[in-house]
Structure 1
Amino acid sequence: MRFMMLMFPANYCNAAPDARPSVEDIERMMHFNYSLQQAGVLLALDGIHPPSSAVRVSSVDGKVRVVDGPFAEAKEVVGGYWVIDVTSREEAVAWASRCPLSPGDTIEVRQVFEMADFSADAQKAVEGLHHDLGQSVT
């Protein structure tokens, strides 16, 4: 089972576009990342820039709307993620619990859809597409 662990760093919604984690925070996180890799559960991971450097693209009344960050309504924002492959939700939560969080940080653990999670009709609708994409379409 694949799970995405989303990191919500405390106060990241107010971070400047050039904000970077400290060397100490990077070292602590790299130890955690290495433990995921050594256990053979890590599929992907990345940290992402703060929302002050982001752009939101949405649809409003049928028209595309583009808005540059920062976003005033943001309370919690994603600062990075991991995708892991484990045997259960409980195992995913156990891994998230080992992450070296700073005060106020949060990790949200969410299961990734697999094709088997969808009806036969939905699976048939995407049949063959995942081969063309070179990856899962879900």
Structure 2
Amino acid sequence: MRFMIIVKASPDSEAGVMPSEELMTAMGNYNEELAKAGILIDCDGLQPSSKGARVRFSGDKRTVIDGPFAETKELIAGYWLWQVKSKEEAIEWVKRCPNPMPGTEAEIEIRQVFEAEDFGAEFTPELREQEERVRAQAKKQ
């Protein structure tokens, strides 16, 4: 099972405050543990929403909205992508994580990634083949 582990933003992360050397060391050690355990697929921190944009869809119309975005609690500061056996295993790994926003309350969200079999009959053999081609092409880059 794959899970995306989402680190929620804080006022500091949205202000562009960089993590301390102490936090970077702790996170580096934690990421190394994840890699050694064979569960880490990918991870990264994200720039503040002031450097981002959103595209709103309304029928055929597309509207671009530049950041920053107001609701910090709804924003993402970083993520991990893990391969684990269960949600419970993901929870146990998250509980071992250093506080991503030291000195404040922080929140990490755990979301399971859809797998091909989750889509049922609508995910036809042709769509599966296309998905495999796209993933193979993406890995080459």
Q: TM-score, normalised by structure 1?
A: 0.86
Please tell me whether the aligned partners of residues 5 and 109 of structure 2 are also in contact (alpha carbons under 8 angstroms).
yes
| Alpha-carbon distance change, 72 to 25 in structure 1, aligned in 2, over 3 angstroms | same
Q: 1:98/1:61 Cα in 2 relative to 1: closer, same or farther (>3 Å)?
A: same
Which consecutive residues of structure 2, in runs of 5 or more, have no partner in the other structure?
Answer: 137-141
Residue aligning to 2:7: 7
- Give yes or no for contact 1:13–1:52 (8 Å, CA) kept in 2: no
Q: Pairwise CA RMSD of aligned residues?
A: 1.8
In the other structure, the counterpart of 1:100 is 98
Q: In the alignment, which residue of structure 2 is the partner of 1:118?
A: 119
List alignment gaps of at least 5 residues for structure 1.
none
Summarize the alignment of residues 1-138 of structure 1 with structure 2, pairs less than 5 Å apart: 1-12=1-12, 14-16=14-16, 19-60=17-58, 62-101=60-99, 102=102, 103-124=104-125, 126-135=127-136
Percent pairwise identity: 39
1:22-76 Cα distance to aligned partner (Å, 9 max, x none): 2221111111111100111101111110111111111235321111111224433
For residue 131 of structure 1, report the CA deviation from its aligned partner: 2.4
| Greater Cα offset, 74-83 or 26-35 | 74-83
Cα pair distance change 1:9/1:100, threshold 3 Å? farther
In structure 2, the CA distance between the partners of 1:131 and 1:76, relative to structure 1 (3 Å rule), is closer
Alpha-carbon distance change, 7 to 73 in structure 1, aligned in 2, over 3 angstroms: closer
- Does the CA-based 8 Å contact 2:51-2:67 persist in structure 1? yes
Q: Which runs of 4+ in 1 moved over 4 A?
A: none
TM-score, structure 2 as length reference = 0.84
Relative distance call for 1:97 and 1:34 in structure 2 (3 A) is same
Range with greater deviation from structure 2 (88-97 or 102-111): 102-111
